[in-house]
Amino acid sequence: MSFKFSKRWIEDKELVTQLIKRVFDETGKSEKFVHKIDKDVTLFREGDVLNDIYILLEGVVVLHKKKPKTDIDYPVIRLEHGSLIGIIAFTTGKPSLTTAITTEPSTVLKIPDLEIRSLLERDDRMKEYIDEIILANLSDRFKTNISLQMKLDSVNNKLRKERNELKKAYQDLKEAQDRLIYQEKMATLGQLVAGFAHEVNNPTASLLRSTETLENRISELMKQNDREPDKQSFVRSLYESGKKSGYPDTATLRKRSSELRKEFEGAKASQIRLLAQIPPELLSNFKSMTNNPEEMDIYLQYFELGKMFQNIESAGNRISGLVKSLKSYSRTDTDKEWELIDIREGIHDTLQLTSNRIKYYDIQINLEEVPKIRANPAALNQVWTNIILNAADAMGKNGSLDIYCTAEDDHIRVRIKDLGPGIPEEIIYNIFDSNFSTKKSDVKFGLGLGLSISRDIIKQHGGTISARNDPDGGAVFTVTLPIRK
């Protein structure tokens, strides 16, 4: 198909428009079809069935489309002179897809359907002109489409990039928040520990001191008791042996009990149990009492008295020791965070406090003498705790721990090895990452932050922390700390 007019016609809508205008003028029909329109006037609405063809001769018309589910008209195409408005609707007869609104005072050629037909019949030129215009418009639209696509693409890319950046920023934020919560938690815990340690020290002290006094008084009382001298010394020795008695294990106790049951027929089970813990040299005095259980009870009570004191004393001391370790571990009794410390103390404190988890493990401790370094003891203790508890989790109820430290040139090396299943190869490079965790809900230091926080702490000290699997089985964590004063 060739066009009468050269290519330039298609691009120069102005020219075409003028020609069409001229045709109309010549045929004298212009007044009827040429309309001068103000700006902001709606030519037709979306959904209208168009019976006229519109050709914009001068001005600007913007096509609008309703945004879905709203009543807002959204501008989609800007048409200038030479444009055919409502082509699709006109040619297909379907309702208009857009709403046409003038944005400047404009001149429009509005030709009704019937007129077009008669015009086309009358004047061959008209047909050609119209064809040209339609084509120009369509190619225009097409060009616009392509450039819009390209713009869309680049916008999408930009958006995608931005979204990724946002995601990462969000992750970072979340981590920072978690860390803050964790630190907050630790801080609160630290305060509670301090308060607790302080509070419990008082009753513990009172307990131990009162027991000592009590013990003294009872000794005095026993001396003054009006008793035959040999019975007196018997009573005393029962009491003293009670204080030192300790606890034989149940198997020994059982064996001794069954021996004594034969010797002391008729004695109650509770009496036999006590007799089994009394040193054999004192038992002969009891033989004479076998037929008098009430008398036996009285003397056994002296033994029990001694035992009870031993209990109280040992329990009191244990509490005392635990509290000391707790305080030392959390270093809540000093104002300074960084001190010159011997890290071995912290390792011992940690072992004491985690003893409940590791008490049945085979533990080898080989801590060579190391120089004191400037460090944050509470923080370092967190690291030891984290590693040891991880090992305990991995090993379950049976296992072994090997803790070793040594000084090398300018740094201290601490090595903690367990005999668990080791760290799976696929995750061994990620374990120090934040939010990495294989633990389930039963976490105390959890949130998956344990090892990553440990790494941060060690980094703060200028040191390094690493993990590997030992060829003999189990995981080995190595921490190096530079010797800084």
Interface residues toward another protein, by CB under 8 A: 247, 249-251, 253-254, 268-270, 273, 311, 314-315, 356, 360, 397-398, 442
Q: Give me the least distance between CB of 207 and another protein, in Å please.
A: 15
Taking the least distance from each CB to another protein, the nearer of 28 and 396 is 396
Q: Give me the least distance between CB of 389 and another protein, in Å please.
A: 14
**SS3 (DSSP) at 336:** coil
Taking the least distance from each CB to another protein, the nearer of 244 and 254 is 254
Q: Which residues, listed in sequence order, are joined to residue 109 by a DSSP beta bridge?
A: 34, 55
CB 375 within 8 A of CB 338: yes
Q: Give me the least distance between CB of 225 and another protein, in Å please.
A: 25
H helix or E strand, kind and range, residue 9: helix 7-11
Please give the full DSSP string across 180-247, using - where no structure is assigned: HHHHHHHHHHHHHHHHHHHHHHHHHHHHHHHHHHHHHHHHHHHHHS---HHHHHHHHHHHHHHHH---
Q: Which two tokens stand for residue 440?
A: 């389930």
Q: Which two tokens stand for residue 201?
A: 């020290």
The span from the CA of 462 to the CA of 450, in Å, is 18
**Any idea what the Cα angle at residue 149 is, between residues 143 and 150, rounded to 5°?**
95
Q: Give me the least distance between CB of 307 and another protein, in Å please.
A: 8
**Phi and psi at residue 245, to the nearest 5°:** -65, -35
Q: Give me the least distance between CB of 316 and another protein, in Å please.
A: 12
Taking the least distance from each CB to another protein, the nearer of 31 and 249 is 249
Taking the least distance from each CB to another protein, the nearer of 221 and 269 is 269
Q: Which two tokens stand for residue 174?
A: 């979340």
Cα 189 from chain centroid (whole Å):
19
Taking the least distance from each CB to another protein, the nearer of 273 and 372 is 273
Q: Give me the least distance between CB of 270 and another protein, in Å please.
A: 5
Taking the least distance from each CB to another protein, the nearer of 265 and 442 is 442
Looking at beta carbons, which pairs linking 196-202 to residues 24 or more positions away fall under 8 Å?
A: 196/326, 197/323, 197/326, 197/327, 197/332, 197/333, 200/319, 200/323, 201/320, 201/323
Q: Give me the least distance between CB of 261 and another protein, in Å please.
A: 12
Q: Give me the least distance between CB of 251 and another protein, in Å please.
A: 6
Q: Give me the least distance between CB of 249 and another protein, in Å please.
A: 6
The span from the CA of 278 to the CA of 241, in Å, is 7
Taking the least distance from each CB to another protein, the nearer of 315 and 407 is 315
Q: What is the DSSP letter of 412?
A: E
**Phi and psi at residue 311, to the nearest 5°:** -55, -50
Q: Give me the least distance between CB of 289 and another protein, in Å please.
A: 19
Taking the least distance from each CB to another protein, the nearer of 34 and 315 is 315
Taking the least distance from each CB to another protein, the nearer of 319 and 407 is 319
Specify the length of the chain in residues.
Answer: 485
Q: Which two tokens stand for residue 305?
A: 């008295």
Taking the least distance from each CB to another protein, the nearer of 74 and 247 is 247
The span from the CA of 275 to the CA of 241, in Å, is 12
